[in-house]
Amino acid sequence: MRAGRVLGWVSLLGFLCVPVQAQKRDPNWDLKLGFSYLATSGNTDTSSAGFDARYVQDWKLWGLEATAGAVRATRNERKTAESYNAQVRGRRRFRDRTRDGTELTFGARAERNRFAGIDSRTILDTSLLRPLLQSARWKLQSLTGLSWTREDPRGRRRRKDSFGGLIQLQTNGKPSATSELTVQITWYPNLERRKDYRLHGQASVQAQLNRHLGLRLSHDVKYDNEPVRGFERMDASTTVSLVVQLGRKRA
- Collect all residues with Cβ–Cβ distance below 8 Å to 160 and sequence separation of at least 6: 149, 150, 151, 153
- Collect all residues with Cβ–Cβ distance below 8 Å to 174 and sequence separation of at least 6: 137, 138, 180, 181
Give the residue-averaged pLDDT of 146-160: 92
Q: Among 23-37, 63-77, 130-144, where is mean pLDDT lowest?
A: 23-37
Burial class (CB in 10 A: 0-12, 13-18, 19+), 107: buried
d(Cα 70, Cα 84) in Å, to the nearest integer?
A: 4
Q: What per-residue confidence (pLDDT) applies to 248?
A: 62
DSSP 227: P
Q: Is the pLDDT of residue 51 over 50?
A: yes
Residue-number span of the structural domain to which 202 is assigned: 2-19+40-248
Does residue 113 belong to any structural domain of this protein?
yes
Instruction: Please enumerate, as own/partner, the contacts of 177-182 that have beta carbons within 8 Å and a separation of 24 or more.
Output: 178/207, 178/208, 179/205, 179/206, 179/207, 179/208, 180/205, 180/206, 180/208, 181/205, 182/206
* Torsion angles phi and psi, residue 11, rounded to 5: -65, -45
Write the single-letter amino acid at 36.
S
DSSP string, 88-147: EEEEEE-S-GGGTT-EEEEEEEEEEEGGGTEEEEEEEEEEEEEEEEE-SSEEEEEEEEEE
Does residue 236 belong to any structural domain of this protein?
yes
d(Cα 242, Cα 240) in Å, to the nearest integer?
A: 7
The mean pLDDT of the chain is 87
Does residue 143 belong to any structural domain of this protein?
yes
Q: What per-residue confidence (pLDDT) applies to 139?
A: 94
Does residue 33 belong to any structural domain of this protein?
no
More confident residue, 107 or 229: 107
Give the residue-averaged pLDDT of 210-215: 92
Does residue 120 belong to any structural domain of this protein?
yes
Q: Is the pLDDT of residue 16 over 70?
A: no
Whole-structure pTM value: 0.83
Q: Identify whether the C-beta of residue 105 lies closer than 8 Å to the C-beta of residue 127.
A: yes
Give the number of domains in the chain: 1
Q: Where are the alpha helices (DSSP H) in the chain?
A: 2-16, 20-24
CA dihedral 55, 24, 13, 163 (to 10 degrees): 20
Q: Residue 113: give its domain's CATH number.
A: 2.40.160.40
Does residue 77 belong to any structural domain of this protein?
yes
Does residue 195 belong to any structural domain of this protein?
yes
Does residue 26 belong to any structural domain of this protein?
no
